[in-house]
Structure 1
Amino acid sequence: MQGTLNEIDIRSILQLIELGQRTGYLEVEAFGGDRTMYRDPKTRHREQFWIVFFLNGQIAYAAHSDNSLSRLRDYVRRYKVDGALDNVSVPSIATINAPEYGYLWNLLETHALTPAQGRSIIQSMVRETLFDLLSLRNGAFIFEIGPALEPQLTTLEIGPLVTHIMKQVQEWKQFHPHIQSPDQCPVIVDSTQLRQKLPENTFKILEHWADGKTSIRQMARYLNREILPVARAIYPYLQQGWVQLVSPLTALSSANRELIPDPATGVPRIVFIDDGIATCKAVEYTLKQHGYAAAAIDNPLKALSLVFQIKPDLILCDIAMPELDGFEICAMLRRSTAFRQTPIVMLTGKDGFIDRVKARMVGATDYLTKPFGDSELLMLVEKYVGPSNANPSTPDQFSFNALEEEIAEVDTKHR
């Protein structure tokens, strides 16, 4: 059985496997454009893909097939045995087509983990993988009938599990656009407000892991909780603008790293947001030529994330853009205490009277009519930021008790 997710969705595929009481594995690949999935895994370049193993119509194990042990290391960390992975003898791993599973079994055989702990880890891995798969819309799949994954530790019924995860997927949508992926990493942008809101011990823990490198997904693993309640716990602080999520995929380019605030410099930082690549390049060049630290971003979703990292002194934002328009970006930034006083200038058309009214309603400071020349741009920039005077470690273990209590409290309030 094989095909694309345009023909049949993941939920239906799982139901067919359950009804047929099939034993084998399902491989799902996410792709964009006209990328296709071929039978020979050695002949294709993959974007993202997942694998789920079945025994008589029940799930035995599931993973994101990157052959990395980082996920397993995150899960065993809560049992303080992640160091044992470094001592696993690779030749003793019997499970060749699922290395992570084999390493887990080695920890069981050496009594680093108990069978109950192993089952708990596999259940968490399956839920995590199904959350990704049931959220997937574009991709291809192959189901191959084959021998069961050995040795077997546990199996999970598909029906109740899918129902539970589908509910999570639907609830996840309420976090958009503040949270778009469980792989996003939290960063504190207003520590003063957050410290006033949280107990001191909880704030210190949050301050420690909100480093732009630890994702929501990893937090869920460390806390032995599912992704949804962890996301729900930090969501109010995202709404307030005290915490922002960033992604490794939207990290600052080397050309724009000078935009990160540096107390030692007084160079005004300017962000220009426009989906027109040519316009972005022209504006960025002009501003840099006149001594400003400038970043022009042509992706509005990426821009929203980078703005919190850059903390610019001035934001110039086009209105008509895909996914997020300028009005939405301005409104979201104004809800953050970090940007309530930052000048935000909207770019409008010649006949954009209504746009200018809407811009004022969402909190824009001013507007600049398109098309504009260098002189108009520089006059506006000097008006709000002045002329530029410039020439062109992590501890081994975490204690998450206080944070888990905070998560539980917020989770209860938002049910």
Structure 2
Amino acid sequence: MATALQLAQKRIDDQTSIRKYLELFIRLKLFAWDDIERYMRKQVILTLEQIFPYAGKIVLNRSVAVDLTYGDDGHGFTWDQLELEFMQRQQVWASLADVIPAANAIPYQLNHSRQTITDDWAKQHLPQWIDGQRTLYDIAHHINLDPLELAHKYRKLVQMDWITFEQEKYLATLQKPQKTVINQPPTTNESQKVNVNYLEKSTHSPAIPTANAVAENRPTILSVDDSLVVQTMIKRAIGEQYNVLLASNAMDALSLLNKEKIELMLLDVTMPDIDGLELCRTVRSIGRFRDLPIVMLTAKDGMFNKIRGQIVGSTHYLTKPVDRPKLLEVLTKYAPITVMS
């Protein structure tokens, strides 16, 4: 994808045109128009499902130029059919609302469930996919499952008190002390499970200096994310190697950028008010921050999000949840740690 984007940027004069990018990719036989239209139709329905629970209205912003059309004739969607499909799905979502508020709700695995789960599918699925960062929609996307089908499965797990969609309930369980088993060999089944995220320190981590070996002027990372859970995980993951400043919105982020010496910014795409893409574009428009490394960190793993991130000026793009070694690898590349001799 990065190679394709670099090639496109060299060949396309108008780099703000989505249509121009797609036409080039099609000429290179990376995609077909039918594939793109089918993908976008699905994404429109799923996006509408994500924003539908919130109060307000959708207003067309005519100041933003978007030239996304499909096929050689440049046609669009039949919106009546989209609306019918969307409303039919909403009726199903309404039947699940007692435990799952929306498709973009985040599931959390309750600590006490780790020793009480009896369902084989849940035993394999929960440690691998439920980490307090991915939304129901994101998990469904990664495992290639319709969010509604996954929601029905999760409803049963909520009823079993194995997971919850209530952040406060999840955080309350983290405050309870957990037993630590030292030098306990894993069972055969446990040794086959792989669930490394940046909350856990993997034994396969690259050789990163510890806090005692890092100079007092170690690099400062600004993490911008509106999720308290994600911010806590990031600080735990990199706090030994970097000074970490946290901002939950674009205004706070801009304030910290102007007050502090920031060597790198971790930026979530999806935030209220001003999203990460718009903030990235704003930061890049300020002369002193044109070379600031900006790593887009988001749960969305779509082709178009990566393209949009490149267009607005991101330096690197990571998909949450990022394992700790990968996160530190990227940070070390763009914000090297100075070690005292």
Q: TM-score, normalised by structure 2?
A: 0.41
